[in-house]
């Protein structure tokens, strides 16, 4: 059965991969990007997609969702900010919440009325392994993903009586370029003489950027969840990652 699937943050990474995969499976895919230039580039590369500019922090853009009337909304847009909590600029901290949390809520609120009218729908929220973990330098990002955890769980319970399904995906370190940009940005917030912070940054760099995984595993999971008859509350990837982390912690 063909569905209308709206994906945010589809200019690269998981979002782009899932958009192409789902279009290949025969669905109508509205692939949205933060900027018009990104949408133009995506449309030129993949004319099978309905690429459009939709900034999840822009109310006028979010209002377009009602006209699209998606059967499935994949909240994939994200902003990665990592820095020491002692001096992370508050505007950067707020920016992460604007995209990762408030943008997700706004998009969901815009799509839900149409889903309720149909008595069916699905919302897939992209969380992260950072939604279950936090450590030095990671908190500005992890705080937003912890909020996504709370939002997704509550929304799933609230919308179930209306026939609307909500699920989330918690990826670990996959090689999309997102992690590299996020980790490489930490150094800008560390003073030259702050040795402990520099050591923490070096540790995080090794943990997150070493042997990153093939993102196709996440892309296929996103597509499968979009088509599934029903979904679990959460999907951690790669499988068993939480158990591996628990063992490493002792």
Residue 249 binned pLDDT confidence (cut-offs 50, 70, 90):
low
* Segments forming the whole domain that contains residue 204: 4-249
Q: What is the domain count for the chain?
A: 1
pLDDT tens, position by position, 108-163 = 999 999 999 999 999 999 999 999 999 999 999 999 999 999 999 999 999 999 99
How many percent of the chain have pLDDT more than 90? Answer: 96
pLDDT of 242 reads: 84
CATH of the domain at 119: 3.40.50.720
pLDDT of 250 reads: 59
Record the pTM.
Answer: 0.96
**Long-range contacts, 158-164 (Cβ 8 Å, 24+):** 159/112, 159/115, 159/121, 159/123, 162/115, 162/116, 162/119, 163/115, 163/118, 163/119, 163/120, 163/121, 164/112, 164/115, 164/116, 164/120, 164/121, 164/122, 164/123
Q: Which of 141, 162, 174, 189 is catalytic?
A: 141
Residue 246 binned pLDDT confidence (cut-offs 50, 70, 90):
confident
Q: Summarize the confidence of residues 13-37 as an average pLDDT.
A: 98
Is residue 174 annotated as part of the catalytic site, yes or no?
no
pLDDT tens, position by position, 177-222 = 999 999 999 999 999 999 999 999 999 999 999 999 999 999 999 9
């Amino acid at each position: 059965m063909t569905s209308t699937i709206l994906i945010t943050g589809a200019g690269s990474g998981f979002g782009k991969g899932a958009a192409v995969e789902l279009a290949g499976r025969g669905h109508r895919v509205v692939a949205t990007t933060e900027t018009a230039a990104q949408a133009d580039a995506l449309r030129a590369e993949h004319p099978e997609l309905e690429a459009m500019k939709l900034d999840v922090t822009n109310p006028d853009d979010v209002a377009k969702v009602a006209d699209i009337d998606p059967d499935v909304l994949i909240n994939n847009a994200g902003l990665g900010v990592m820095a020491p909590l002692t001096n992370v600029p508050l505007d950067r901290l707020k920016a992460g919440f604007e995209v990762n949390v408030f943008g997700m809520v706004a998009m969901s609120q815009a799509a839900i009325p149409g889903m309720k009218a149909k008595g069916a729908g699905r919302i897939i929220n992209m969380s992260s392994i950072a939604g279950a973990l936090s450590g030095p330098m990671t908190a500005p990002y992890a705080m937003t993903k912890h909020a996504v955890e709370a939002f997704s769980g509550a929304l799933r319970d609230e919308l179930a009586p209306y026939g609307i399904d909500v699920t989330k995906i918690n990826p670990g370190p996959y090689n999309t370029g997102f992690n590299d940009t996020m980790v490489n940005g930490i150094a800008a917030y560390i003073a030259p003489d702050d040795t402990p912070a520099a050591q923490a940054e070096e540790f995080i760099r090794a943990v997150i950027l070493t042997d990153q995984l093939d993102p196709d595993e996440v892309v296929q999971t996103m597509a499968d969840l979009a088509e599934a008859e029903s979904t679990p509350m959460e999907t951690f990837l790669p499988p068993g990652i939480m158990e591996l982390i628990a063992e490493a912690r002792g």
